[in-house]
Amino acid sequence: MVIPYSTQSINQDDIDSVESTLRSSYLTQGPAVAQFEEAIADYCGARYAVATNSGTSALHIACLAIGVGEEDWIWTSSNSFVASANCARYCGAKVDFIDIDVETGNISIHALEEKCRNITEKKLLPKAVIAVDFAGQPCQLKALKALSVQYGFFIIEDASHALGAEYESCKVGSTQYADITVFSFHPVKIITSAEGGMAVTNDEDLAEQMRLLVSHAITRDEQKMTDCSEGGWYYQQIGLGFNYRLTDIQAALGLSQLKRINEFHERRVLFKKQYDDFFSEIDHEIVEPLTIERNTQSSHHLYVILIKNNKRKLWYDTLKAKGIFVNVHYIPIHTQPYYKQCFIRWKIPQPFLPNTLQYYQQALTIPLFPSMTDVQQNEVISSMKNIMLTQQ
Ligand SMILES: *Cc1c(COP(=O)(O)O)cnc(C)c1O
């Protein structure tokens, strides 16, 4: 039996939705994309949503929309997928990394505050902080917002893990704190469109910028043109954009998946609780799950445990050998050779992130996904029990 750490759940409705798009007039640039955008905006309570062909491209256009360029610094946490930092590099910006809270894996507000306070020149403050809602738990957004006001930076919330999560009873993406919130619909995430992403915002100008950027910055809106339209065929390219469009086939899948999100969430909550029950019997000096803060509701994208007795590799290898495909989220971005090279070029020291490194030594993601069965979860639990009995 092979058990992945996460995988998609596709049912007949999903297949029917994709099939009907395949049989329609539009495979791309048709009605499904706009419907998907509206459905996500409605779901998370955002005013505007712009679909993209990946979470990564959504992060890229979010950076461009707020004006990130070569002179700028972007700060993010190192405990994330490389895309959280790469999006800034695509704009030529430099990236620095903030330490995390070990208990949650999220950006440490304390470390961020301290770093802001120690900056002596205004131009070294970040243009934006990319706040990653790690494992589906929202960052401490109110405190983040207070710092963003004090020090004058934008907040891009990388909510690739966190569709459906809540911060103080507000859905992630209702964006009263973040300027732009980004979701990913990669198959391992909360819902999938195969590849795909979405950037949501309450700011009309940012939404308009992002809408242009996903399709070559081409407009057919005469209001935006430098001259009058020359006829029905006429368009103008008014900036430098990309082809970051989601297809209608993908949007059809995303739409049908979104209808199932409550069902998915209930399954995740159930499995999360069953793991919690198991770990509540275990000495937390040895193994401890991540902490969920009281003012957040996680989407439970990942179930991460911290193995504190230096046996993480043993756990990984033993479980993997049994077909339980556990994973490690994440290898700290700042330790990647590419970024090490960057720090040398930018003449800054390697970021000092003790919590991130400690977390990385201990973290293991165990399987949790909506289509997991009780039999599979019991297999994971009994295998972990076995490791603790025989190897500790
Ligand atoms: C998945 C992910 C991304 C990138 O999303 P893609 O859709 O794969 O491009 C970015 N940030 C985080 C934290 C992710 O988990």
List, for residues 238-262, the tens digit of each pLDDT value: 999 999 999 999 999 999 999 999 9
Count of CB atoms situated within 10 Å of the CB of 231: 6
Task: Say whether pLDDT at 314 is over 80.
Answer: yes
The answer to whether the CB of 271 falls within 8 A of the CB of 372 is yes
User: Quick one: which of 27, 24, 43 has its CA closest to 259?
Assistant: 43
Q: Is the CB of 84 under 6 A from ligand 1?
A: yes
CB 192 near ligand 1, within 6 Å: no
pLDDT exceeds 90 at position 1: no
**379: CA distance to ligand 1 center in Å?**
29
Residue 80 alpha carbon, nearest atom of ligand 1: 13
Please give the pLDDT value at position 25.
97
DSSP 101-120: -TTT-SBPHHHHHHHHHH--
Predicted local distance difference test score (pLDDT) of residue 219 = 97
Distance CA 301, CA 384 (A): 20
CA distances from 207 to 37, 122, 210, 213, 263 (A): 12, 28, 5, 10, 30
265 close to ligand 1 (CB < 6 Angstrom): no
Per-residue pLDDT tens digits for 266-305: 999 999 999 999 999 999 999 999 999 999 999 999 999 9
Judge whether 116 and 147 are in contact, CB under 8 Å: yes
Counting from 1 in the atom list of ligand 1, the atom nearest the Cα of 84 is 11
- What is the rounded distance in angstroms from the CA atom of residue 151 to the CA atom of residue 136? 27
Q: Are 270 and 303 in contact, with CB atoms under 8 Å apart?
A: no
Higher-pLDDT residue of 391 and 69 is: 69
Pick from 40, 56, 61, 95 the residue to mutate for probing ligand 1's pocket: most ligand atoms within 8 Å of its CB: 56
- 330 prior amide bond cis, ω within 30: yes
Neighbours of 222 (CB within 10 A): 11
Ligand 1 probe mutation, 133, 160, 214, most atoms within 8 A of CB: 160
How many whole angstroms separate alpha carbon 138 and alpha carbon 159? 8
pLDDT of 375: 97
Q: Is 158 in the pocket of ligand 1 (CB under 6 A)?
A: yes
- Whether 6 lines ligand 1, by a CB cut-off of 6 Å, is no
The verdict on the CB of residue 160 being under 6 Å from ligand 1 is yes
Cα diameter, the chain: 78
pTM, entire model: 0.98
pLDDT at 20 over 90: yes
Burial 106-128 (b: 16+ CB within 10 A, else e): bbbbebbbebbeeeeeeeebbbb
| Average confidence (pLDDT) over 311-328 | 97
CA of 330 relative to ligand 1 center, distance in Å: 12
Q: What is the mean pLDDT of residues 329-352?
A: 97
Q: Identify the band that residue 176 occupies on the pLDDT scale cut at 50, 70 and 90.
A: confident
The pair of three-digit structure tokens given for residue 52, joined into one six-digit string: 């993209």
Mean per-residue pLDDT over the chain, rounded:
97
pLDDT value at position 391? 75
Query: What whole-number distance in Å separates Cα of residue 346 and Cα of residue 96?
Result: 10
Which residues, at least 6 apart from 216, have a Cβ–Cβ distance to it below 8 Å?
237, 241, 242, 243
Residue with CA closest to ligand 1 atom 5: 55
- Check residue 392 and give its pLDDT: 58
What percentage of the chain has pLDDT greater than the value 70?
100
- 80 Cβ inside 6 Å of ligand 1: yes
Burial tier of 192 (Cβ tally within 10 Å: 0-12, 13-18, 19+):
buried
- Give every CB contact of residue 157 below 8 A, 6+ residues apart in sequence: 130, 131, 133, 138, 139, 141, 172, 173, 175, 177, 178, 180, 181, 182
Q: Count Cβ atoms within 10 A of the Cβ of residue 4 and give its class: 0-12 exposed, 13-18 middle, 19 or more buried.
A: middle
Nearest 5°: the CA angle 198, 190, 7 is: 125
With a 6 A CB cut-off, is 327 part of the ligand 1 pocket? Answer: no
Our answer on whether the CB atom of 83 is closer than 6 Å to any ligand 1 atom is: yes
CA distance 44 to 345: 40
Q: Give 171 Cα–ligand 1 centroid separation in angstroms.
A: 19
Q: What is the mean pLDDT of residues 74-78?
A: 98
Instruction: Indicate which atom in ligand 1 lies nearest the CA of residue 195.
Output: 7
d(CA 328, ligand 1 centre) in Å: 15
pLDDT digits 0-9 by tens, 108-167: 999 999 999 999 899 999 999 999 999 999 999 999 999 999 999 999 999 999 999 999
Let me know: does 198 contact 205? Beta carbons within 8 Å. Answer: no
Confidence class of residue 19 from pLDDT cuts 50, 70 and 90?
very high
Neighbours of 37 (CB within 10 A): 23
CA 236 to ligand 1 center in whole angstroms: 32
